[in-house]
Amino acid sequence: MKILVCVSKTPDTTSKIAFTDGNSKFDENGVQWIINPYDEWYSLVRAIELKEKDPATTVHLVTVGGADAEPIIRKALALGGDEAIRVNADGSDSYFIASQIAAIAKDGYDLVFTGKETIDYNGSSIGAMVAELLDVPYISLATKFELNGTTATVTREIEGGEEVAELALPAVVSCQKGVAEQRIPNMRGIMAARTKPLKVVEPAATDTLTSIVSFELPPAKAGVKLVSPDNVGELVRLLHEEAKAI
C-alpha cells in the first residue's frame, strides 16, 4: 500500500495579516509558517495510523512550493512520513497545484489524502481536482476512514447527519476533524527526519487558470450598542433597521 499525503505551508493562526504591492500580494515579513492543520492533524496522522497497522504501507508526502517549505516538510516527516517530494514551484492557482500533485500521484499510489482545505485560502478544491485528473473516486470531508484490503469505508458529514460510503482503491479522500487525533513529533522522529529522503522535482507543464487580483481585509468591527433590558422596542428597531436580522 502506497499512500500520498498532500502537505501545504500556511501562516500560523496568530500571524498578523498584511498585504503589499497594491494589496495583490501577501506580506510574508515576520510570518511564522506551519503545516496546514487539516493536513497535519488529520490526513497525515490517519495515514501514519494505517502504516502502523500494516508495516508494508509506505507514506509519502508531497508539497508544491519553494525551498522555504522544506522545514515544514521535515516536521511532517518527523511525525512518521517515510519520504517527501517537493515540486519546485510557487503559485496559488488550484488547478496548477492539483495538476502537480496528480503528476506525482500517477506513480503507483493507492490512496491520496488531503486536508479538507487550507486555512489561508479555504478553497477546499484540490482533492476533487486531483481525483478528476487521476480519474479515480473522491470522497470529501471524511470524519472516519477504515481500510479493508483495497476497499475503503468512509464516513462524512452531510446536512443533518452522516453518510457512509464504500469505494475501491485507488481513490482520493479529503479529511477533517474526527479522522484522527493530533500527534506531536517526538525526539526520535525529529532526528530521523533529518536523513529521510526529500526529493525536489521540477513542475509538470500545465496551465494556470486563475490569478489573484487583490486581497482585502475584512471591515473593522463596529462598536457595540447597549440596549436597556426595559427597552425592547428599541432592540427590535435596531435588529430590523440596522442589523437587518429580522
Q: Which amino acid is at 175?
A: C
Residue 222 predicted with pLDDT over 80: no
Q: How far apart are CA 108 and CA 176, in angstroms?
A: 25
User: What pLDDT band is residue 180 in, cutting at 50, 70 and 90?
Assistant: very high
Instruction: Name the band, by pLDDT with cuts 50, 70 and 90, for residue 220.
Output: confident
Mean pLDDT of the chain: 93
Residue 24's pLDDT is what? 87
Q: Kindly report, residue by residue over 123-174, the tens digit of the pLDDT.
A: 999 999 999 999 999 999 999 999 999 999 999 988 889 999 999 999 999 9
Query: Do 137 and 131 form a contact (C-beta atoms < 8 A)?
Result: yes
Q: What is the pTM of this model?
A: 0.86
Q: With a cut of 80, say whether residue 191 has pLDDT above it.
A: yes
Q: How confident is the model at residue 28 (pLDDT cuts 50, 70, 90)?
A: confident
For residue 93 the three cell numbers come to: 492557482
Distance CA 243, CA 246 (A): 8
What H or E segment, with its residue span, contains residue 96?
A: helix 94-105
DSSP string, 171-205: EEEEE-TTS-------HHHHHHHTTS-EEEEPPPP
Instruction: Please name each of the domains of the chain with its CATH number.
Output: 2-218 (3.40.50.620)
pLDDT at 202 over 90: yes
The percent of residues in the chain predicted with pLDDT above 90, rounded, is 72
Quick one: average pLDDT of 195-213?
A: 93
Which pLDDT band, with edges at 50, 70 and 90, does 244 fall under?
Answer: confident
CA distance from start to end of the chain: 55
Q: Which amino acid is at 156?
A: R
Closest to 82 in 3D by CA, of 62, 60, 104: 60
- The pLDDT tens digits of the residues spanning 79-103 come to 999 999 999 998 889 999 999 999 9
What is the sign of the dihedral through the CA atoms of 87, 104, 2 and 122? positive
User: To which residue does cell 508526502 refer?
Assistant: 61
Instruction: For 96-113, give one letter per residue: b (16+ CB within 10 A) or e.
Output: bbbbbbbbbbeeebbbbb
pLDDT value of residue 172:
98
- Do 101 and 111 contact (CB within 8 A), yes or no? no
CB 50 within 8 A of CB 5: no
